[in-house]
Amino acid sequence: MEAETAKRQFLEYIEIERGRAVKTIENYDHYLTRYFAQMRIRDVSDISEQNIREFRLWLNRQPGTAADSMKRRTQNYYMIALRAFLKFLRKREIACISPERIELAKLSERELDLITPAELARLMEAARGTEEMDVRNTAILELLFSTGLRVSELCSLNCDLDLSQDSFSVRGKGDKVRVVFISPAAKCAVSAYLSARKDMSEALFVNVTTSKTAPSRLTPRSIELIIKKCAIKAGITKKVTPHVLRHVFATDLLSNGADIRSVQQLLGHASINTTQIYTHITDSHLRDIHRKYHGKSRS
């Protein structure tokens, strides 16, 4: 079977039947296209362990964003896409090598990008002000910290948010719906922002414009730039992104006693393995318990 035809069918399958996000589909398309081009894959029968190994070697020698070579995690994304493609072919009874033959590179324990509670307070303070833009930025930061939303989920919110309730539903990755909870501080900030709005846009967060043209919904990139500017104003030298605030949300819960399964649900992780990056927080909590309660009868 022609590789390009099979790839198109695979991408349609993960979009329609598996409900994958548009960004995931775009990434899988990019990874497979690059493999096909580099290894001159014309037919699915051209896929072999040998050229996969050669492709992995080629990837490892590509320059990375901040290193001499591409990160192993990024290299694994290519292999995950290829493995999913091969599983699809097997499911359609199209002859190909076994997807189990592709092993992912072992990764060192992932380090989290975090900011301290003091830095979080400074970040929030840096956003405050009386102008509509300041009120909007405060609402964005408070809502991200309160809910742990992904930036794409935040951007998709509309003005019909019911602030009389302590929670609301959001549609996340894989079109899955989950409940997130909004703090009194976030409610107050969003309410103040809605009161300051003068436009009729249905989007919750929009760009502030002085022209007569209708404001447009903020994009993930716009939110990233807003948070970056607030971090600079707050004197924070670390890289602060919407995802860093999602990390802070999770670690705040865990360090205050929440169990990791609950945090998994609040973050909308499909697998507990994804949430395991926060295990060091619970490990620290267990160490404190051990020190407090263990061996007291021997002292």
- Do residues 126 and 268 share a domain? yes
- Answer yes or no: 173 catalytic: yes
CATH number for the domain spanning 169: value is: 1.10.443.10
pLDDT of residue 280: 67
Average pLDDT over residues 81-98: 91
Active-site residue among 150, 187, 193, 247? 150
Per-residue pLDDT at 120: 93
Domain of residue 89, residue span: 3-101
Whether 109 maps to a domain, the answer reads no
- Taking every pair of C-alpha atoms in the chain, what is the biggest distance, in angstroms? 76
Q: DSSP string of 15-55?
A: HHTS---HHHHHHHHHHHHHHHHHTT--BGGG--HHHHHHH
Domain boundary, last residue among 74, 101, 128: 101
Query: Which of 125-129, 213-217, 248-252 ranks highest by mean pLDDT?
Result: 125-129
Residues 13 and 146 in one domain: no
- From the candidates 90, 197, 243, 280, give the one annotated as an active-site residue: 243
Q: What was the pLDDT predicted at 228?
A: 94
Considering the candidates 28, 35, 78, 278, report the single residue annotated as catalytic: 278
Q: Single out the residue in 47, 69, 101 at which a domain terminates.
A: 101
95 and 191, same domain (yes or no): no
Whether the pLDDT of residue 30 is over 70: the answer is yes
Do 202 and 235 lie in a common domain?
yes
Catalytic residue among 7, 136, 247, 269: 269
pLDDT at residue 184, as a whole number: 93
Same domain, 51 and 171: no
Residues 149 and 180: their CA atoms lie apart, in Å, by 8
Distances in whole angstroms, Cα of residue 191 to Cα of each of 19, 25, 182:
33, 36, 12
Which contiguous run of DSSP H or E holds residue 153? Answer: helix 151-155
Most confidently predicted of 11-25, 75-89, 282-296? 75-89
**259 and 170 within one domain:** yes
CA distances from 18 to 80, 83, 150 (A): 15, 15, 20
From 20, 56, 246, 247, active-site residue: 246
145 pLDDT more than 70: yes
Of the pLDDT bands very low, low, confident and very high (cuts 50, 70, 90), residue 20 is confident
Among 173, 217, 280, 285, the one annotated catalytic: 173
pLDDT of residue 63: 77
- Please say if 278 is a catalytic residue: yes
What pLDDT score was predicted for residue 72?
A: 82
Residue 110 maps to a domain: no
Kindly state whether residues 48 and 123 are assigned to the same domain.
Answer: no
Which residue pairs from 33-40 have beta carbons closer than 8 angstroms and sit at least 24 positions apart in sequence?
33/7, 34/78, 35/78, 35/82, 36/3, 36/4, 36/7
pLDDT at position 208, please? Answer: 84
| CATH at 81 | 1.10.150
141 and 267 within one domain: yes
Q: Tell whether 112 is covered by a domain.
A: no
Of all residues in the chain, the percent with pLDDT exceeding 90 is 55
Are 143 and 276 in a shared domain?
A: yes
pTM score:
0.67
pLDDT at 286: 59
Using the 3D structure, point to which of 77, 101, 125 is the last residue of a domain. Answer: 101
67/124: higher pLDDT: 124
- Residue 299 belongs to some domain of the structure: no
Segment 108-144, tens digit of pLDDT:
655 667 888 899 999 999 999 999 999 999 999 999 9
For residues 126 and 237, state if they share a domain: yes
Told to judge if 269 belongs to the known catalytic residues of this protein, a careful annotator would answer yes
Does the annotation mark 30 as catalytic? no
Pair 242, 223: CB distance under 8 Å: yes
> Amino acid identity, residue 169?
S
Number of structural domains found in the chain: 2
58 and 131 together in one domain = no
> Quick check: is 290 catalytic?
no
